[in-house]
Every structure is written in structure tokens, then in C-alpha cells.
Amino acid sequence: MIGAMKREVTELRPTQFALGMREVAKKVEKISGMKEKQIEDYLDEHPVPVVLSPHKHFYMIDHHHLVRACWESGVKKVLTKLQADLSHLTNEEYWKVMLQSHWAYLYDQLGNGPHAPLKLREDIRCLADDPYRSLS
């Protein structure tokens, strides 16, 4: 897979403020019921799409629930697939592209926002629970 690489789950930066913890719990249950080889195969079939930022951070543009479930299950690394290298842009240009591409969701668990991208959490461990995200 071109542009694919395993990365630490805590190295990946979220592009949203909240996720549905019920959905995470379902994924944790699924992962917990697998053997190590099954987990590896499952994660290889579901690479996490990332975009490289001007500050050389990898931002997840999907699979936030899966990555959080991996962290909660003790899985240290996931396969990532680079969707775009935007490291040549200014920070302002970068976030403009991210928003225009619908790769970032800047509303919090209460529906407030959009918040400034600089307020996004540094990793998946710090996202708030939005119970309504689990309903969708």
C-alpha cells in the first residue's frame, strides 16, 4: 500500500473535538475478542487516513473511534495511509484546505463551534464523549 506506515496511536492528531464512547466501547469489545494476529489483520484492512500538516503532524481524517478503541485495548500502533501531504502550506492555508475538504469537524460535544483548529486535542485520549455521535 503506497504511503502506508504503522504509527503510534498517540502520535495521531484528531480533527474533531468529540466522539461517541458507545461506538468506541463496541469496537473495544470487538478487538478484545480477537487474537493478536486477527487484530493485526483487521487493522491492516482498516488503515487510518492521515494528512501531514505544516508542523509535520499526522492528522486523522477518519477512524477516530477505531484509534481510540485501539488505545483503550492496549494496541500501540495502527496502519496509516497518507491521503495528502500539505506540509508545504502555511498553517492558515492548511486548515482552509482541511475544512474545504470536510477533513475536520470543529464543533464540540455540545454542538458549540466552530472552534479554532489550534484548540483541537493533541491526541485521541483527550476527546470528549458526544453521546449523540453514537446514535448516528
Percent of the chain with pLDDT over 90: 93
Question: Global pTM?
Answer: 0.93
Residue 43, pLDDT above cutoff 60:
yes
How many Cβ atoms from other residues are within 10 Å of residue 103's Cβ?
21
CA proximity to 113, closest of 104, 125, 122: 104
Please tell me the predicted confidence (pLDDT) of residue 122: 96
Residue 132, pLDDT above cutoff 90:
no
- Domains in the chain, CATH or no CATH each: 4-135 (3.90.1530.10)
